[in-house]
């Protein structure tokens, strides 16, 4: 896809992403959207605040780091790098904390691994920190844990929970087998795993890449589509609640961002789902070779999940007459180059 039209029409963030030319950095930092998200990150770093990692709000770390990745910020930009280091410093200490391993299973232990490892780290490779030891450790850990589940092509993830305490009746068919998170590490692949693997893929050895391809194959199997849309509910007896929904799955219904993530993997390119999705996106190609998706595919609203395509703007002026065309063409370009 020719990116000349994009370069001529897009604002500084997209120009910087396309060229990696540092001369655009001052203009990128003056972009109103970049300033908004950098301020969110700076506030968290200044206050050494590591609460609220996962969730849809703009102040959540997964949205801050995810949006910074979409805007093309990397460690090459000093104003960004100096504020993201707080997360990296935490991760270095966290992965060395062996006390967590010895704790009994609890939702706190599950979150210690999921929120404070996978989710905090998942966008860091895209942000330029693929060679950080903590990011590499978490990536390799998740690859091996998830692969050791998906290699068996298992989809029997639920148990008979009718006799379990504190489980709502409507949840009972969807209680996930506790064997799949017995030590606190969830073996089922999550949306954040796929984002982490997408960013790290080209920096990994062939063996790790092949394991990732198997993990991708698992989610694109027709048996996956038969599972509950959110996998289901996790069960840990004791505490203030015994069962809890934990948003895990890669949301296939949010086509554009999901296709972008899956485009990083060879297995995706051969799958029926991916090729149907690409055919659908190609329906919006214009006679000039650009793309013009409907507005609902390019959502940019406060307090929406990045992973659910809720923050798809890349620093463009929403009032511009070319707004949708620029973003549509940009996202299709990103997908095509993969």
Residue whose C-alpha is closest to residue 11's, from 24, 21, 20, 2:
24
Residue whose C-alpha is closest to residue 124's, from 116, 132, 115:
132
Other C-beta atoms lying within 10 Å of the C-beta of residue 151: 13
Q: Which two tokens stand for residue 327?
A: 């973003």
Round to whole Å and give the CA distance between 88 and 309. 26
Helix axes 191-200, 133-150, angle to 10 degrees: 120
Q: b/e string for 166-196 if b means 16 or more Cβ within 10 A?
A: ebeeebbebbbbeebbeebbbbbbbbbbbbb
SS3 63: helix
How confident is the model at residue 119, as a pLDDT?
A: 97
pLDDT in tens, the chain (338 residues): 568 899 999 999 999 999 999 999 999 999 999 999 999 999 999 999 999 999 999 999 999 999 999 999 999 999 999 999 999 999 999 998 888 999 999 999 999 999 999 999 999 999 999 999 999 999 999 999 999 999 999 999 999 998 888 888 889 999 999 999 999 999 999 999 999 999 999 999 999 999 999 999 999 999 998 887 778 899 998 866 788 877 777 777 789 999 999 999 999 999 999 999 999 999 999 999 999 999 999 999 999 999 999 999 999 999 999 999 999 999 999 999 99
How confident is the model at residue 240, as a pLDDT?
A: 67
How confident is the model at residue 1, as a pLDDT?
A: 59
Place of tokens 């609890």: 106
Round to whole Å and give the CA distance between 135 and 115. 14
How confident is the model at residue 2, as a pLDDT?
A: 64
Contacts of 292 (CB under 8 A, 6+ apart): 284, 286, 324, 325, 328
DSSP category for residue 105: P
How confident is the model at residue 194, as a pLDDT?
A: 96
Residue whose C-alpha is closest to residue 275's, from 240, 267, 248:
267
Round to whole Å and give the CA distance between 11 and 315. 7
């Amino acid at each position: 896809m020719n990116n000349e039209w994009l370069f001529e029409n897009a604002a500084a963030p997209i120009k910087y992403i396309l060229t990696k030319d540092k001369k655009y950095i001052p203009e990128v930092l003056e972009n109103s959207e970049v300033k908004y998200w950098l301020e969110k990150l700076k506030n968290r770093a200044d206050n050494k605040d590591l609460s609220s990692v996962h969730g849809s709000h703009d102040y959540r770390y997964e949205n801050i780091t995810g949006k910074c990745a979409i805007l093309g910020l990397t460690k090459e930009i000093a104003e960004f790098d100096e504020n993201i280091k707080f997360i990296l410093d935490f991760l270095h200490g966290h992965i060395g904390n062996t006390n967590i391993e010895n704790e009994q299973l609890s939702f706190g232990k599950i979150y210690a691994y999921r929120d404070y490892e996978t989710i905090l780290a998942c966008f860091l490779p895209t942000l330029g920190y693929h060679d950080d030891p903590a990011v590499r450790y978490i990536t390799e850990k998740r690859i091996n844990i998830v692969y050791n589940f998906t290699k068996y092509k298992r989809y029997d993830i639920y148990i008979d929970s009718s006799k379990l305490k504190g489980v709502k009746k409507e949840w009972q068919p969807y209680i996930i087998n506790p064997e799949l998170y017995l030590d606190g590490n969830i073996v089922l692949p999550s949306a954040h795993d796929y984002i982490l693997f997408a960013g790290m893929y080209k920096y990994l050895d062939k063996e790790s890449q092949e394991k990732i391809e198997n993990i991708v194959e698992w989610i694109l199997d027709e048996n996956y589509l038969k599972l509950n849309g959110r996998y289901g509910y996790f069960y840990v007896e004791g505490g203030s609640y015994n069962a809890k929904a934990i948003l895990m799955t890669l949301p296939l219904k949010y086509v554009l961002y999901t296709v972008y993530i899956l485009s990083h993997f060879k297995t995706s390119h051969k799958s029926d789902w991916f090729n149907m999705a690409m055919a659908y996106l190609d329906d919006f190609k214009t006679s000039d070779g650009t793309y013009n998706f409907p507005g609902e595919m390019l959502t940019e609203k406060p307090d929406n999940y990045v992973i659910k395509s809720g923050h798809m703007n890349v620093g463009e002026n929403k009032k511009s007459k070319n707004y949708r065309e620029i973003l549509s063409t940009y996202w299709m370009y990103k997908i095509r180059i993969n």
